[in-house]
Amino acid sequence: MAEDLSGVTGLLYEMGLLKRYKRTGWLVAGVRDPESIADHSFRTAIIASVITALEGGDPERAAFMSLFHDTQESRVSDVHHLGRLYLKATPNEEVTADQVRDVPPVVAEMVRGAVGEYEEKTSLEAICARDADKLECLIQAIEYREQGHQNIQPWIDSSLAALRTGTAKRLADEALATNSVDWVKRVLNGN
């Protein structure tokens, strides 16, 4: 008899909400059409793999954790820090446990393991994934600043202050010293 996959299908549809839900902090900063949570998570996973490879860890594990680091927001949305002053947050591990309640145990354990490791903040890969989350925010802030948004500096400052690895700090310095299209100029000039 085939395993019932209705819970998995529901989870996949639920994760699709992350493509539609916007990151609310950017709305506070005046960005009219900010990135989605899924947009953020995608680049965070790429950054996590790079940071972790350069730090000597397992880039696949860090990227995997990054893909799941904000999935709870399909249920609780992206609450800006201002809102967090007034709301009691349910721990991400609890939200995740509810999200995977109706999926096969092997899937539930995979997702709970990724979220749990990320939230524990102890493995090199989790530290790099958390740095990637902050570095992605910093890079996005630079891009929004280049588009003319003026209220971005607090996101840059808080992201910089949260970085722990040497690689993430060096990447942040490089991102702040360049602009988002310098790489295009290098490609077109054959460098």
Q: pLDDT digit string (tens) for 64-83?
A: 999 999 999 999 988 878 88
Does residue 155 belong to any structural domain of this protein? no
In whole angstroms, give the CA distance from residue 15 to residue 119.
19
- pLDDT tens digits, residue range 170-184? 999 999 999 999 999
Residue 67 located in a structural domain:
yes
- Is 153 part of a structural domain of the chain? no
What's the pLDDT score for residue 4? 84
Q: What's the chain's average pLDDT?
A: 95
* 176 vs 68: CA distance, rounded Å: 27
Does residue 1 carry a pLDDT above 90?
no
Strand partners, 172: none
Domain contains 34: yes
Q: Report the C-alpha gap between 71 and 133 in whole angstroms.
A: 13
Query: Does the residue 184 lie in any domain?
Result: no
Please state, in angstroms and rounded to a whole number, the distance separating the CA atoms of residues 25 and 31.
9
Contacts of 47 by beta carbon, 8 Å cutoff, 6+ apart:
66, 132, 135, 136, 139, 171
Tokens coding 127: 């530290």
Q: Are 40 and 136 in contact (CB under 8 A)?
A: yes
Domain of residue 74 covers 6-132
Closest by CA to 28, choosing from 79, 77, 90, is 79
Q: Is residue 18 situated within a structural domain?
A: yes
Residue with tokens 């609780």: 76
| Residue 30 domain flag | yes
Tally of structural domains, the chain? 1
The CATH number that applies at residue 127 is: 1.10.3210.10
CA dihedral 20, 168, 138, 180 (to 10 degrees): -90
Once rounded to an integer, what is the mean pLDDT over residues 119-144? 98
- Give the span between the Cα atoms of 20 and 40, in whole angstroms: 12
Give the tens place of pLDDT for each residue, 94-116: 999 999 999 999 999 999 999 99
Residues paired with residue 22 on neighbouring β-strands, in sequence order: 36
143 in any annotated domain: no
Give the phi and the psi of residue 100 in degrees, each rounded to 5: -105, 15
Closest CA to 50 of 121, 109, 147, 136: 136
